Amino acid sequence: MKTRKAFLSDSKHRIRFVYIPKHTSWLNQIECWFSILMRRLLKRGNFTSTQDLKQKIINFIAYYNRTFAKPFQWKFEGFPDAG
């Protein structure tokens, strides 16, 4: 645990960890992207090497950006008031 805390608090890292509440994965847009990548490429993919995997991911990103990419649309408008 000490090494994790030291790693996460090191100011030299360019990664910023932001923890969100449970059951709010819809707030995490990168999780949405990895879900798309998993469902459309990785789940049924055949990869002969890590280089092959890397190239197929790069190709998929280019294809996705040309064909499907659009801003995520927020649909959640909050919970109704309890009062």
- Tell me which DSSP letter residue 68 carries: T
How far is it, in rounded angstroms, from Cα 20 to Cα 27?
A: 8
- Nearest CA to 33 out of 58, 61, 52, 54 is that of 61
How many whole angstroms from its chain centre is CA 8?
19
Q: What is the pLDDT of residues 43-82, one digit of tens each?
A: 999 999 999 999 999 999 999 999 998 877 777 777 777 6
pLDDT at position 14: 77
pTM: 0.57
- The CA distance from 11 to 23, in Å, is 29
With bands split at pLDDT 50, 70 and 90, how would you rate the model's confidence at 83? low
Per-domain boundaries in the chain = 2-67
Return d(Cα 14, Cα 52) in angstroms, integer.
Answer: 27
Count of Cβ atoms closer than 10 Å to residue 63 Cβ:
13
- Decide which of 83 and 77 is more confident: 77
Residue scoring higher pLDDT (63 or 33): 63
Residue 32 has pLDDT above 80, yes or no: yes
